[in-house]
Amino acid sequence: MNFSVLIPARLASTRLPDKPLADIAGQPMVVRVAQQAAASGAARVVVAADDLRIVRACKQAGVQAVLTRTDHLSGSDRLAEACALLGLDGDDVVVNVQGDEPLIDPALVRRCAELLSTRPDCVMSTAAHAIDSLADFTSPHVVKVVLDAADRALYFTRAPVPWWRDGNALGVTALPQPRPLRHIGLYGYRAGFLRGFPALPPAPLEQLESLEQLRVLWHGHRIAVCLAAEAPGAGVDTPEDLARVRAVFAKTPVAPGP
């Protein structure tokens, strides 16, 4: 199928300065992300950057990049501008791969695109996998998703859900069955919806949970969810994360270019 991958890349990062340009096996991280995304079979992979240094680094590596405004409040806003710059609209399928996910599974990227193309009832697609750790279930840093019978998202939350009726009295000593689902931050969009997304008023639940995808549900739209067999590769938020990812690349020979 024909779909595009857009990768938002913002140079500012409090925990890891200049994160998109961090070296991984001889290439900037954002280039490694683009290489993984290209393996999905996408018609094109484009980095949506907020700084000319990112654009130059991408072009030097043969990766297409566009320069977007610096004042966007979210990655979705940045991608909406990129869609306009690239002429993507209507039912064009766009997959948002985060710029700090150099180990993202290309097959999962493609699955998100294919799922959306078969679900006219949904404006977005995303992914999830079963939680197998009690610590992940109770952690507010791990986002959970609850599905309906058609594998559409009912709700996203940082709280441990689903919850037992007597959970407060019994405490959490085991995972519920069936196992709860951890949300994977990979999104497919219909380009027309993505271009209009910034105009949707923020939702109270979105602001409470700090989860932008809740704006979609709040306004009555639907999100299809594909289930992955396992968790995706680790993202990069801290210097420790970067060291772990570099170690993975050091074990696997990689080409110096795209």
Segment 242-257, tens digit of pLDDT: 999 999 999 875 554 4
Q: Is 70 helix (H, G, I), strand (E, B) or coil?
A: coil
Query: Nearest to residue 95, comparing CAs of 19, 28, 43?
Result: 43
Q: Is 224 helix (H, G, I), strand (E, B) or coil?
A: strand
The full set of domain ranges for the chain reads 4-233
Q: Per residue in 75-111, pLDDT tens?
A: 889 999 999 999 999 999 999 999 999 999 999 999 9
CATH (residue range 4-233): 3.90.550.10
pTM attached to this predicted model = 0.92
4: Cα within 13 Å, side-chain hemisphere: 23
Token pair of 130, please? 């079963």
Q: How confident is the model at residue 172 (pLDDT cuts 50, 70, 90)?
A: confident
